[in-house]
Structure 1
């Protein structure tokens, strides 16, 4: 069995592009190790002062509305972002990127135009 996890970024009004990546996980082979990985990243890359109640949101890590980023060096925050972005690669989990321009009506690139017309008909 496989699980597919997706998340979006770029939903704020000022952001012109929405990104929706997905990762596929083989539950038999990868799930237990992958479930432990976020805690390992959390314990390794999030300073002890910020760990309680911490949930990874890149906007928060870099803008700091709830986190005092003056007490968390930029390079350390970049290292956290790299570690999170590297998780699928560390486990050879296939990625499926998606992208759309906000306000634009695009036909998905993975769907041939003639098939898209038949599906929408």
Structure 2
């Protein structure tokens, strides 16, 4: 899982996850991303390198500064990362929430803490999407574990909300939050197909996080109606933009499942 839109400048936060079968798909996916690094990143920077979607889209960072590196090439790299999901038919799940509406509920909380709560809440949307996928689409015997991009500010809040979602005493623990989640994903709580706690890692440690980052960035920019995102949206959805359309019946948050 990786997020996009956690800074104060963005209106929407998205947490996205790419579901990969560790036994059948992970090695091939890793090799695919490593081949993209080998092709486009200078050799002296390849060790421990990770792609960041915002750098590729805007032309920034140490490698992809648009003053030194063609923006068209950076955009092609971002598309290649997005195409990995279609190439390997990897399901994508994501949660989203608008900052303005949610942070209004926590206006008396220090901004740093409010941001962590918002991130964790959006994370919970992605988790229920993953749980729903595992219950409805995966083999009955299959279980999942979560690898999440390390974020020092949100890590504690994410651990707490994850433990809550696994709890057998949900209604006693946090009635308001649980009621919201149950309404959005009936029958998916407590989570049972997602086992263990949360594993935190950096993009350098997990190439799948780099793909999740590309997905989260593209979805957020689509939901915010950012200019120039259309071609990346089309790559992600296979020219089906309706696949990313938000549920207007939900006030400010929701989740979605994309299957190739």
Return the TM-score normalized by structure 1: 0.72
> Number of matched residues?
111
Aligned to 1:66: 62
Aligned counterparts, 1:20-99, within 5 A? 20-44=15-39, 46-48=40-42, 51-52=45-46, 54-61=49-56, 62-67=58-63, 68-99=65-96
Judge conservation of contact 2:5–2:12 (CA < 8 Å) in 1: yes
Aligned to 1:3: none
Q: Per residue, is there more helix in 1 or in 2?
A: 2
| C-alpha distance 24-52 of structure 1, shift in aligned 2 (>3 A) | closer
Using the alignment, how far apart are the partners of 2:70 and 2:90 within structure 1?
A: 30
Using the alignment, how far apart are the partners of 2:51 and 2:9 within structure 1?
A: 21
Using the alignment, how far apart are the partners of 1:66 and 1:10 within structure 2?
A: 21
Using the alignment, how far apart are the partners of 1:50 and 1:70 within structure 2?
A: 20
Using the alignment, how far apart are the partners of 1:10 and 1:42 within structure 2?
A: 25
Q: What CA deviation, in whole Å up to 9, does each residue of 1:18-52 have, x standing for no partner? A: 111111111221121012111111122x2427844
Aligned to 2:196: none
Using the alignment, how far apart are the partners of 2:91 and 2:184 within structure 1?
A: 28
For structure 1, list consecutive stretches of 5 or more residues without a partner in the other structure.
Answer: 1-5
Q: Secondary structure at the match of 2:4?
A: coil
Judge conservation of contact 1:18–1:100 (CA < 8 Å) in 2: yes
Per mean C-alpha deviation after superposition, the further-off stretch among 58-67 and 20-29 is 58-67
Q: How big is the alpha-carbon RMSD for the aligned residues of Structure 1 and Structure 2?
A: 3.0
Using the alignment, how far apart are the partners of 1:114 and 1:18 within structure 2?
A: 18
